[in-house]
């Protein structure tokens, strides 16, 4: 078990939405100190100009970041760019947490150093995260979907296809300017994207689902939507069952998550964004579906895409890696 009284944290990509959220959370962390933070477009900016109240040196460009002068590097860099910095951090002997999709699902071409990455969903992999040197922080959509489905998958009750309809606030698309994310394009609208089971997050959903069932997982059909709010994700998941259930289905979620500090099971109602936004919480509700030929459940999950879906989960993983209370700076 690791027992550090404090740790120096380096942040790659602090200028994006997830990076700013990470700075905000670490600014109130009693054991973590920001050693440096990078931004290519905002280098030279004071940290408290980026996030009011944050303490630390001014932002620098990534090439000027001293990887060996921190105890852990957290990367909020874009997909496809983050992996090379994780490799540098590991070569420097520094622990690392990657918020991109680069290391979440090993493939045929994954280098050996990257295969040591632990999938950073504490509710499933807490013990492995605590001993990890490299953590692949989960995606926002998979975090909600996997935790919502886990009780059914563990028990072998989910048949396929499982339909995951998910809606995310616009911060989930990143901070880079894009026409389709302008206020006039998004406001008062609601649209699907990556339709046809082509979203990158499907790979990690399938991988984690397979791990939970210990083999071949039910088929997943995932359709994300753009919700005209700043932050938050709401997922409505339709799950055909292999057999009828006796009693109230919510008991499985109550049992599995009774001791989890960041999972709230809502009894008697479905969760809304208000149950999760601004917190590191996953709120989950479940109900049986009436008047259908085969047994089916609807599971609804809500998270904040920037907290439990990104920076908050990274801090939760950081706490585990350094032997600190898991709720530090999050509760």
What's the mean pLDDT in 260-277? 97
pLDDT at 125: 98
What are the distances in angstroms from CA 42 to CA 34, 60, 324?
A: 17, 8, 32
Q: What pLDDT shows up at residue 2?
A: 66
Beta bridge partners, 10, equal 36, 73
In sequence order, which residues have a C-beta less than 8 Å from that of residue 293 and are 6 or more positions away?
none
pLDDT at res. 176:
65
Backbone phi, psi, residue 31, to 5°: -115, -10
pLDDT at 246: 86
CATH H-level, domain 7-138+309-321: superfamily: NAD(P)-binding Rossmann-like Domain (3.40.50.720)
For CA atoms 139, 24, 300, 190, the dihedral sign is: negative
CA distance 124 to 128: 9
Residue-wise pLDDT for 97-106, tens only, equals 999 999 999 9
> Which residues are catalytic, by number?
140
CATH topology for the 140-304 domain? Dihydrodipicolinate Reductase; domain 2 (3.30.360)
Query: What whole-number distance in Å separates Cα of residue 303 and Cα of residue 280?
Result: 7
pTM: 0.94
Question: Per-residue pLDDT tens for 125-140?
Answer: 999 999 999 999 999 9
Digit-coded pLDDT (tens) for 175-234: 666 777 777 778 888 999 999 999 999 999 999 999 999 989 999 999 999 999 999 999
Residues 6 or more apart whose Cβ sits within 8 Å of residue 77: 12, 13, 62, 85, 99, 100
Residue 1 banded pLDDT, cuts 50, 70, 90: very low
How confident is the model at residue 175, as a pLDDT? 64
pLDDT beyond 80 at 268: yes
Q: Where are the alpha helices (DSSP H) in the chain?
A: 17-27, 47-50, 82-91, 122-130, 140-154, 183-186, 201-213, 250-256, 312-321
Q: So what's the pLDDT on residue 324?
A: 97
CA–CA distance, 289 with 237 (Å, rounded to integer): 12
Residue 264 has pLDDT above 50, yes or no: yes
CB atoms inside a 10 Å sphere around CB 287: 15
In the chain, domain spans: 7-138+309-321, 140-304
Quick one: 151 exposed, middle or buried, by C-beta within 10 A (0-12, 13-18, 19+)?
Answer: buried
Complete DSSP assignment for 216-251:
PPPPEEEEEEE-SSSS-EEEEEEEEBSSPPPS-THH
> Going by C-beta distance under 8 Å and a sequence separation of 6 or more, which residues neighbour residue 2?
130, 131, 321, 322, 323
Is pLDDT above 50 for 260? yes
| Rounded distance between C-alpha atoms, residue 233 and residue 321, angstroms | 27
Residue 247: its pLDDT value, please? Answer: 87
For all residues of the chain together, what is the average pLDDT? 94
């Amino acid at each position: 078990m690791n027992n550090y009284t404090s740790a120096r944290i380096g942040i790659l990509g602090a200028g994006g939405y997830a990076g700013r959220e990470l700075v905000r959370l670490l600014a109130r962390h009693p054991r973590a100190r920001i050693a440096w933070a990078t931004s290519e477009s905002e280098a030279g900016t004071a940290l408290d100009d980026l996030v009011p109240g944050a303490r630390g040196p001014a932002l620098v460009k990534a090439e000027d970041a001293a990887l060996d002068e921190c105890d852990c590097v957290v990367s909020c860099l874009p997909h496809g760019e983050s992996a090379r910095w994780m490799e540098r951090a590991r070569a420097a002997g520094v622990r690392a947490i990657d918020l991109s999709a680069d290391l979440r699902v090993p493939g045929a071409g994954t280098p050996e150093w990257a295969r040591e990455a632990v999938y950073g969903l504490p509710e499933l992999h807490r013990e492995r995260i605590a001993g990890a040197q490299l953590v692949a922080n989960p995606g926002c959509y998979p975090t909600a979907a996997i935790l919502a489905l886990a009780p059914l998958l563990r028990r072998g009750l989910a048949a396929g296809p499982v339909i995951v309809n998910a809606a995310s606030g616009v911060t989930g698309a990143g901070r880079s300017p894009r026409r389709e994310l302008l206020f006039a394009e998004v406001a008062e609208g609601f649209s699907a994207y990556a339709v046809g089971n082509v979203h990158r997050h499907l790979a990690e959903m399938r991988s984690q689902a397979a791990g939970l069932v210990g083999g071949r997982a039910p088929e997943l059909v995932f359709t994300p939507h753009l919700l005209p709010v700043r932050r938050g994700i709401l997922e409505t998941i339709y799950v055909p069952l292999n057999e009828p259930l006796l009693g109230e289905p919510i008991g499985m979620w109550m049992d599995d998550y009774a001791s989890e500090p960041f999972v709230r099971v809502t009894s008697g109602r479905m969760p809304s964004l208000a149950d999760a936004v601004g917190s590191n919480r996953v709120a989950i509700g479940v109900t049986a579906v009436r008047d259908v030929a085969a047994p089916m459940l609807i599971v609804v999950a809500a998270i904040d895409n920037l907290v439990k879906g990104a920076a908050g989960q990274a801090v939760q993983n950081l706490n585990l890696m350094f032997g600190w209370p898991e709720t530090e700076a999050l509760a």
